[in-house]
Structure 1
Amino acid sequence: MSNLKIFRDGEPENPLLVVDSKAAMVVELAKAGIRYEQWEAGQELSASPSQEEVLAAYARDIDRLKREEGYQTVDVVSMQPDHPDKAVFREKFLDEHRHSEDEVRFFVEGQGLFTLHIGNQVYEVLCTKGDLLSVPANTPHWFDMGPNPRFVAIRLFNNPEGWVANFTGSDIAGRFSRLEN
């Protein structure tokens, strides 16, 4: 179940706000300049859909975002608990970092925990099936797919070559929750 927890950046054990309603999540995240939406497939997906099938099922929303935000490239990424490099991929984005462009993810299946550090607040956003989250360019954040990752996600880019993690050097991510799946 999707949820949002907001903390002061120095108080990871005491959330200021916990939100379980997707409608309320939209409102709270918008206050911080974060796009959060729910999408529904335009057609039924097979048990193991191809990238083309996934993109066709969500074409209406993908095309809308491309028009609104100028995204140029779209792909589908998936991760399963039996992936031999899952620990390496998990570790890659657990520390606070920024990207020079938006990080846009839509969860077709599964879940992931995005944590955003905005000003003196930390926003933990547990995304699940049907959730789109757009982390604005240069926003400090980290991502956890958990020790047993299971997700299929659509990614939108302005320039995939520019989507490089620029680590802040802060240890803040280690003080906040991890996804335990």
Structure 2
Amino acid sequence: MAEIVIRDSGERIRGEEQVRAFLDRQEVLYEHWDAAKLPAELQEKFTLSDDDKAQILSTFDSEIRDLAGRRGYRTWDIIALSDATPNLDELLKKFEQVHTHTEDEVRAITAGKGIFIIKGSEEVGYFNVELEAGDVISVPENKPHFFTLMDNRQIVAVRLFIETEGWIAHPFADPAFSKA
């Protein structure tokens, strides 16, 4: 289950209802899917074949199509990152820059863990959303954020897009942001 850490205060928010309510106030969609429905052999697998990816998409087809229908997403795929990913550190450097998009950034975590760092309202500032299998998040278009892995450096996620070109980031310089 997702947890939130407010970076300025260190306050931690736990529990599905509290997490959902906080993210709602920050205009970030949060849902939770049943990660246990994924076949056991894929729950801890982070190097995926095309057949594995197809099986994940098939397993969550109804959830994906429901979310896509409600939010206008037209295409989706799977991203899998782990220490086995070629050039992982360079790839993470690209992700770990505050940026925006001209559409929502949507991730449905099916295995592993990751963190979205999001710029909240003026009174909140930046906050971390620690995600694990079953967590679904949609960061709204033009909201400054970035994504990185947690210490285990393993994640599999469904990505949903409106634009068929996929992930396009626009750098966002913010002197208020610190990596700490």
Corresponding residue of 1:40 = 34
| Number of residue pairs aligned between Structure 1 and Structure 2 | 170
Corresponding residue of 2:77 = 75
TM-score by length of 2: 0.85
d(CA) in 1 for partners of 2:146, 2:154? 18
RMSD: 2.0
| Structure 1: runs of 5+ lacking an equivalent | none
- Note if contact 1:42-1:57 (Cα within 8 Å) is conserved in structure 2: no
d(CA) in 2 for partners of 1:32, 1:2? 15
Partner of 2:165: helix, strand, or coil? Answer: helix
Residue 148 of structure 1 and its aligned partner are, at CA, apart by 5.2
Please list, as runs of the form range in 1=range in 2, the aligned pairs for 1:99-114 lying within 5 A after superposition: 99-114=101-116
1:19 to 9, 13, 23: 13
Corresponding residue of 2:92 = 90
Corresponding residue of 1:166 = 170
Query: What is the one-letter code of the residue matched to 1:143?
Result: F
- Note if contact 1:90-1:146 (Cα within 8 Å) is conserved in structure 2: no
Distance 1:142 1:158, change over 3 A: same
Q: Per-residue CA shift, 1:158-179, capped at 9, x if unaligned?
A: 0142631100122544x244xx
Q: Per-residue CA shift, 1:134-179, capped at 9, x if unaligned?
A: 0000100111124652111000000142631100122544x244xx
| Structure 2: runs of 5+ lacking an equivalent | 43-47
TM-score by length of 1: 0.85
Corresponding residue of 2:4 = 4
- Note if contact 2:81-2:153 (Cα within 8 Å) is conserved in structure 1: yes
d(CA) in 2 for partners of 1:162, 1:83? 19
d(CA) in 2 for partners of 1:127, 1:171? 26
Q: Per-residue CA shift, 1:44-86, capped at 9, x if unaligned?
A: 4252471111111111211111110110001111012222311
Identity among equivalent positions (%) equals: 28
2:140 to 131, 136, 142: 136
Partner of 2:143: helix, strand, or coil? Answer: coil
d(CA) in 2 for partners of 1:108, 1:85? 22
